[in-house]
Amino acid sequence: MPHEVQGVVSLAKGEPTQLASVLVPDPGPGEALVQVQACGVCHTDLHYREGGINDDFPFLLGHEASGIVESVGSGVTGVAPGDFVILNWRAVCGRCRACARGEPWYCFATFNAAQPMTLKDGTPLSPALGIGAFAEKTLVHAGQCTKVDPAVSPAVAGLLGCGVMAGIGAAINTGGVRRGQTVAVIGCGGVGCAAIAGARLAGAAKIVAVDVDDRKLATALRIGATHSVNSRATDAVQAIRDLTGGFGADVVIEAVGRPETYEQAFYARDLAGTVVLVGVPTPEMRLDLPLLDLFSRGGSLKSSWYGDCLPSRDFPMLVDLHLQGRLPLDAFVTETIELDDVESAFAAMSRGDVLRSVVVF
């Protein structure tokens, strides 16, 4: 018998989301049924609703989630009923060309549940990022469940499932920030502030936060930035160079996803430094840079997908560091809300009022 629960669905492009009854099947082979405890509201959920990801409506939104495993299907050995888990969208296959060469964080054939969740009339739902956790229960592949210390608050833990992991990983995995380095982060929303927390954890000596909104800069300083620059009023490239002995930062993380901020990141970087693009651009965006500058400035220009994370390696470690007081993840939870507040949370996000609103069940 499927489980009937309430979920936040997006039925048609650009229309407001709504609460609907969702039928969640019992887990089949390799699957897990999870009682969702908390799920953050991410920009990507809004992108789905606006048709910016794909046209596979109707969607079951929500993907930054934690919860308790209720039951598992046959063949599942990694998690068991009662386990507290963070859901991830990178259940690695272990066999594709990336996994085979020992780089599973690039896995090109990640797993999701095989059975669909549906509306009451049987219409299959597309779960956001293969998760769909704005619902009391969700069905995922068991590999999408990562067991962590249940002492952490569910609202905090869920955020590691997407944006916060993307930011921390952009700094420590993709950017490879090391002790004593200088780092600049352009765009201090949830992802950029997480990159700042990651750079701090890695021991960066100087962390320059850049944004156009003073409220975001105040949060960035609270989370670990050593300097802040409002690029509406000040030339960000010059300011970062001035703060780094005239050279530019060793690692610059772009967490906006726009050509003009990427260009700032490119020129705010020291010779042979690293630029990490974690912000997601839209299809029409173009970049125009002198090819000679790409050559003569050297170093590396990288993109970061989901912080190049490996959930099984990174989630338990980051939860432990948080519980030790070394990673202020609670600073990312601006407000906790109810399931039917997701639309107003989208509005608060668009106004820049919040780092994260988190639905708590």
Ligand X SMILES: NC(=O)c1ccc[n+]([C@@H]2O[C@H](COP(=O)([O-])OP(=O)(O)OC[C@H]3O[C@@H](n4cnc5c(N)ncnc54)[C@H](O)[C@@H]3O)[C@@H](O)[C@H]2O)c1
279 makes contact with ligand X (CB under 6 A): yes
Residues near 22 by beta carbon (within 8 Å), at least 6 away in sequence: 4, 5, 6, 7, 9, 60, 117, 118, 119, 125, 135
43 makes contact with ligand X (CB under 6 A): yes
Q: Tell whether the torsion through CA atoms of 127, 133, 136 and 137 is positive or negative.
A: positive
Residue nearest to ligand X (CB): 189
Among 163, 198, 273, 311, binds ligand X (CB under 6 A): 163
Q: How far is the CB of 255 from ligand X (least distance, A)?
A: 5
Instruction: Report 248-277 residues binding ligand X (CB under 6 A).
Output: 255-258, 261
Say if strands 18-24 and 118-119 run parallel, antiparallel, or are unpaired. Answer: antiparallel
Q: Cα 246 to chain center, whole Å?
A: 32
In whole angstroms, what is the distance from residue 65 CA to residue 67 CA? Answer: 7
Instruction: Report 204-233 residues binding ligand X (CB under 6 A).
Output: 210-213, 216, 231
The residues that touch Zn ion, with contacts defined as CB under 5 A, are 42, 44, 93, 96, 99, 107, 109, 162-163
245 makes contact with ligand X (CB under 6 A): no
Structure tokens belonging to residue 173:
């995995």
Q: Cα 304 to chain center, whole Å?
A: 11
Of 127, 114, 131, nearest in space to 58 by CA: 127
Name which of 16 and 352 has its Cβ closer to ligand X: 352
Give yes or no for a contact between 211 and 192, defined as CB atoms under 8 angstroms apart.
Answer: yes
Q: Give which of ligand X, Zn ion, none residue 187 binds (C-beta under 5 to 8 Å, depending on kind).
A: ligand X
Q: How far is the CB of 281 from ligand X (least distance, A)?
A: 8
Name which of 247 and 305 has its Cβ closer to ligand X: 305
Q: How far is the CB of 146 from ligand X (least distance, A)?
A: 17
- Name the residues that contact ligand X, by CB under 6 A: 43-44, 162-163, 166, 186-192, 210-213, 216, 231, 255-258, 261, 278-280, 304-306, 352
